[in-house]
Structure 1
């Protein structure tokens, strides 16, 4: 990242001081934890602890994400646009402060005396509430970014801070959370203890963002929005979202997130069975997440500089290709050892941070230039994020694992899987995610425009 002015220095138009950038970015810890923990752990929890078949477990996660997640995203986006003249979008973050503890506690405190069907229904219901809480703060939080500066490069810097806190959120959701599960002995008690820890971290993150966004808004000198009296119809909303500049970027992002969701959800299976780590997979994944976070953070100055020098589109396309190839190589080299896994994880994180940064930056450019629909753009973006991660990280992974004969009974007994099941894990972890990201890169290279 480039150096930012301090809060005490005179501000250029659209310039935000360091404390304002950091304060806003801190909210991404909660956003990332809410996004990643179900993607990384919920399917594994349902199959290895609750004893639910992968395809059924994946459907129980995917349907609430599709129905409640997307529906609540669009509702919050429209309402935050409609009510922005009454109160700043940052006030929506308080809904997350209040609701996030209950969402985590209910999701992983599953009554074990229920039947299999009862457990599936309970998780689906708890996850529906979880997605409603997620929407209440994630959509307004993203929309705020496009409203804080008129400078596209300044938005890239702001998004780079968001990526730094993305790394912190990944560390919490991908390293701390599995570590707590393992420390508490695994099983149901381990996951319940993890939920209690996250129920404290997420509201603190959102409180910091609430005050940080207020400081940033005052510093940017934004006047309260003026009520226009216009009501956006469904047809008008679709017309806004269908504009090629946004729709091509959104479609490319959907493909990338579907692939990334598959890789993330299949990682514990890949480490446990293909790499032969067994119970040590929870410890190994913590180390890999720490390496990935380091890659995300150290890469930010490079991506910001490259985007300014050569443009956002080519950097976005190149980083998506690099990410795809790295995961394909990793998936077909499971026996190469943990040292190679750490190295490939670091490289993949660098490329991942590139396309994530530039996609968010280009979206915030669009929202910043059309502030009347900033909430709508953000709602669609967050909805696609949830759809992609749910489609890839639960439904597709569950279908692939079940199709290739993944044995739940063997997994609950701590036994290895058959070679055919290992092939399914390999495809779900690296090959299919790589193909999704290569397709996204080709689509945006051909049709995208910034």
Structure 2
């Protein structure tokens, strides 16, 4: 298996409309929905955002093992994509339905329950989706190409969902605005699920190996698989940083820049550059190597976020310049880990003779989910420390300490998480063996010295 056709690349990539919408919109809007529409205290709202996804962290590896077993029995993971995606779509619309149960506590409990169901459905979609690249092609560079297609579509999905959803919510206002927004995003998720299911029909499925015999053997593999553990740590830290940043976009627009209508523009300024620079990152990955591209994009993102710590003193156009530079770095940190991951999976499957794609994708998705969940929760804690005033109004008067907390949570704190990942980007992330002519070690072996 080598080069994939355009139909397969595009069909697989369109699934990013489901992952992009669900991975983005709750991080952007669920916290302000709770604090400023339902009047839930910031610290409690942060916990509500975190807890259902904390369950997902535990459940994702289970979903991966189920997916591996289904692949061996039925020869395809695709049914999980359409069923998980459609259930997720319906539950997402319900998440922001605002049933009005008579008290803040009851409404908050409703959100928790529905978010739990959303998280479970997402696991059954996202885990097989992340496992597929290792099975669609064994070509080292084709995996980078497939990933750039996926991230380009992901950027478009994030741009559409992340820019349009806040515009709908703020444009209509109040609970009704969030209700319509939830239906809109639910439709996007459903379209992505159906598109990836149809688009990957007839695509390669890889070698049908037996799944790992038991959890004990799997844990032993994870303990010895140093390359995967390094990569996973980097991805978690960076997902945590990005999630913290995204949780702050709504608050920065309203309280730092002083214009709620700038929320969509801020988000577009961060995600939009990915649509333009994706071919550049692909070229860097081919010429300088995946690890080099990963390092450069991480450093760029950390530097741009650090500069945004001074955004209260900047002119608004300059804020957008640094937001765009952060977006260029963000595109790179999305491409390169996902291009390296299938190389690692293939090597480990060759070494063990067992299917690893599903369970590895489950662990990977668990780490990503944890980062995306902790980020808004951490931002909510920063708001609470800063004395943020929760209310049922769209904009409440905030103390200066709250403005500082918003700025730090949006910029300096994410910059620290991204920077902490840089020392972990060592050659052992890529494994031991190297494809001919590539500047980096290919991820084709477990372990590898630092």
What is the TM-score of this pair, normalised by structure 2?
A: 0.90
Among 374, 380, 383, the alignment partner of 2:363 is 380
SS of 2:71 mapped into structure 1? coil
**Where does residue 447 of structure 2 map in the other structure?**
none
What residue ranges of structure 2 are gaps of 5+ in the alignment? 350-354, 432-450
What residue ranges of structure 1 are gaps of 5+ in the alignment? 1-12
What's the CA shift string for 1:123-143, capped at 9, x where partnerless? 111100010111111100110
What's the CA shift string for 1:1-52, capped at 9, x where partnerless? xxxxxxxxxxxx4110112101110001111101111111000110010000
Task: Map 1:211-250 to 2 at 5 A.
Answer: 211-217=198-204, 222=205, 225-226=208-209, 228=210, 231-242=212-223, 243-250=225-232
**Where does residue 52 of structure 2 map in the other structure?**
64
Q: Relative to 1, partners in 2 of residues 1:224 and 1:358: Cα closer, same or farther, differing over 3 Å?
A: closer
**Where does residue 178 of structure 2 map in the other structure?**
191
Q: Relative to 1, partners in 2 of residues 1:252 and 1:58: Cα closer, same or farther, differing over 3 Å?
A: same
CA positional deviation for 1:223: 6.2
Among 23, 45, 62, the alignment partner of 1:35 is 23
Among 83, 86, 100, the alignment partner of 1:98 is 86
CA distance in 1, matches of 2:426, 2:397: 42
CA distance in 2, matches of 1:357, 1:264: 19
Contact 2:249 2:266 in 1 (8 A): no
Task: Map 1:40-439 to 2 at 5 A.
Answer: 40-67=28-55, 69-87=56-74, 88-183=76-171, 185-217=172-204, 222=205, 225-226=208-209, 228=210, 231-242=212-223, 243-277=225-259, 281=260, 283-371=261-349, 372-393=355-376, 395-409=377-391, 412=393, 414-439=395-420
CA RMSD of aligned residues (A): 1.7
**Where does residue 440 of structure 2 map in the other structure?**
none
Divergent runs of 4+, >4 A: none
**Where does residue 435 of structure 2 map in the other structure?**
none
CA distance in 1, matches of 2:415, 2:86: 38
**Where does residue 7 of structure 2 map in the other structure?**
19
Contact 2:297 2:333 in 1 (8 A): yes
Q: Relative to 1, partners in 2 of residues 1:223 and 1:41: Cα closer, same or farther, differing over 3 Å?
A: closer
Q: Relative to 1, partners in 2 of residues 1:405 and 1:78: Cα closer, same or farther, differing over 3 Å?
A: same
Contact 2:85 2:193 in 1 (8 A): yes
CA positional deviation for 1:419: 0.8
CA distance in 2, matches of 1:95, 1:238: 29
Q: Relative to 1, partners in 2 of residues 1:342 and 1:215: Cα closer, same or farther, differing over 3 Å?
A: farther
CA distance in 1, matches of 2:407, 2:269: 21
Q: Relative to 1, partners in 2 of residues 1:113 and 1:299: Cα closer, same or farther, differing over 3 Å?
A: same
Contact 2:137 2:206 in 1 (8 A): no
What's the CA shift string for 1:29-77, capped at 9, x where partnerless? 111101111111000110010000111011112111011x123311210
CA positional deviation for 1:231: 4.7
CA distance in 2, matches of 1:71, 1:407: 33
Contact 2:36 2:393 in 1 (8 A): yes
CA distance in 2, matches of 1:113, 1:210: 37
